[in-house]
Amino acid sequence: MSKTFYLTTPIYYVNDAPHLGHAYTTIAGDVLTRWHRQRGESVWYLTGTDEHGQKVMRTAEANGVAPQEWTDRLVEDAWKPLWKHLNIANDDFIRTTSERHMSRVQRFLEKLKESGYIYEGEYDGLYCVGCEEFKLPGDILEKDGEKTCPTHSRALEEVAETNWFFKLSAFAKPLLERYQQHPETCEPASARNEVISFLSGDVVDLSISRSSFNWGIPVSWDPGQVVYVWFDALLNYATAVGLGDDPASEGGKKFADTWPASVHLVGKDILRFHAVIWPAMLMAAGLPLPEKVFAHGWLLVGGEKMSKSKLTGIAPSDITSHFGVDAYRYYFMRAISFGSDGSFSWEDISARYTSELANDFGNLASRTIAMIEKYCDAKVPAVADEPILSDALADAVRVADEKMCALDFQGGLVAIMDFCKRVNGYVTEQAPWVLAKDDSKRAELDRVLYATAESLRALAILLHATMPETTEKLWESLGAHQSIGALGDQRIASAGMWGGLPAGTHVVKGEVLFPRLLEE
């Protein structure tokens, strides 16, 4: 039995409600895991929330509530409802305030201390509460006479504490060798080069506890200290699947089946935590390292990273209320090259909605169903070969699968939608509405309508990971649920096997997949 394809998103700070940037990563994870499920693989998809640290504590205090009350409220009222709204099919949701996480973090820390990788020391330096990060000299920006964080443009705070330290420096060389010998473990190349540059420099040990506040997981052997929020948070990927549990227990079996993670999706601003600190922690514990850390780019608004603190955060509902959830999901996977920065534009999403979704895909579906209803008594004609389309489809499936598995969502969707355009061109060239006027061309009409309907069957399968709700509607309209089976059970490979839609399948006119947008 092959190992589970295990994918994680970062766990998100609950100092505020989610914005487009959070949704971007989570949708990417959802599209990728849905695609792998359609490849017939065992899949586990994890997301969750990071609930400890000064940033969360101060936000809760500013709102006049205790940190736990604040995090409970946001998780249940904002985060989980959004993932449901966006049709995110995650298998688990980890909270760092959950007992299963906290107890496993403490056990992990105790074992590192027993192994000699944790020691007591003095920390005296600058800290960014927004990043929850101790800043190195190269990470500090001088602005108006103040030392500031380049990400948050806020003054850094001076911290002097007696803390517990992790021997991060001991793992710089083996990590450097790993990325040089196995470049596929950190992508894209720009991210890997950044990590290699950092590891080639002077890597210092990491303070992994704090004593100036108490909102965190207590250090079990030193109750006056709490675990540094990043050391706590990074462990979620392993604690969620049973880290440290007895191998014979359910948690232990889950860990054996799932670990190491296949892909950690992260934003490029938190790359160093995931490609340096996290694998060093795993090395210290003698655990296998993740197969891939992939750092995507930022979503930009006005040339700046989307951020609540800079008032550039946009709520996903602002977009879904106008364009719908599936168009939202499609746009961010199609318009931006995953791994590069990309600017959100109302004009661009509107143009793509109209051109690619409404005109190309939606119109193809509606006119095909309408013609089969009109000319074929609503029944799919006899299965017919059409090499012009079947060959193009086979190529589209091959390219799309290759691109999607490589996290090139844009490339995968381009291959699929190029095939959609090809089918539209075919319909225009063959003009079935003209063929229908000549009884002697009945066989030709049937061939064209079958080929078009069969192409829609394939498109429904190929676009299901990206637009699950819309493709379900198309599947029902094609009558495929009754004649073939549930859309979610269809395999990517089967999409390219011509002749999958049985003759006689009863089609039904459904609602317009992508209604005309109302001007606002």
pLDDT of residue 303: 60
pLDDT of residue 313: 61
pLDDT of residue 301: 72
pLDDT digits (tens, 9 = 90+) for 218-230: 999 999 999 999 9
Tokens of 27: 């949708």
Q: 264: helix, coil or strand?
A: strand
CA–CA dist 440, 177 (Å, integer): 71
pLDDT digits (tens, 9 = 90+) for 280-307: 999 999 999 999 999 999 988 766 665 5
pLDDT of residue 206: 93
| Domains in the chain: boundaries | 358-506
Name the nearest CA neighbour of 330 among 24, 21, 22.
24
Single-letter code of the amino acid located at 110: E
Q: From start to end of 319-411, where are the E strands?
A: 342-343
Report which DSSP code applies to 340. B
Taking 70 as the pLDDT cut, the residues of the chain under it are 1, 152, 302-313, 519-520
223: enclosing H helix or E strand: strand 222-227
Instruction: Tell the CATH topology of 358-506.
Output: Isoleucyl-tRNA Synthetase; Domain 1 (1.10.730)
Sheet holding 293-296, edge to edge: 92-95, 43-50, 5-13, 263-267, 293-296, 186-187
Q: From start to end of 43-151, where are the E strands?
A: 43-50, 92-95, 118-128, 133-135, 141-143, 146-148
pLDDT of residue 424: 98
pTM: 0.93
pLDDT of residue 29: 98
Name the nearest CA neighbour of 208 among 270, 277, 131.
277
Is 459:419 a contact under the CB 8 Å cutoff?
Answer: yes
Is 260:305 a contact under the CB 8 Å cutoff?
Answer: no
pLDDT of residue 409: 98
pLDDT of residue 407: 98
CA–CA dist 390, 368 (Å, integer): 17
Length of the chain: 520
Name the nearest CA neighbour of 344 among 302, 297, 311.
302
Name the nearest CA neighbour of 329 among 82, 510, 42, 17.
82
Report which DSSP code applies to 418. H
Would you please indicate which residues are annotated as catalytic (active-site) residues? 19, 22, 128, 131, 149, 152, 305, 308
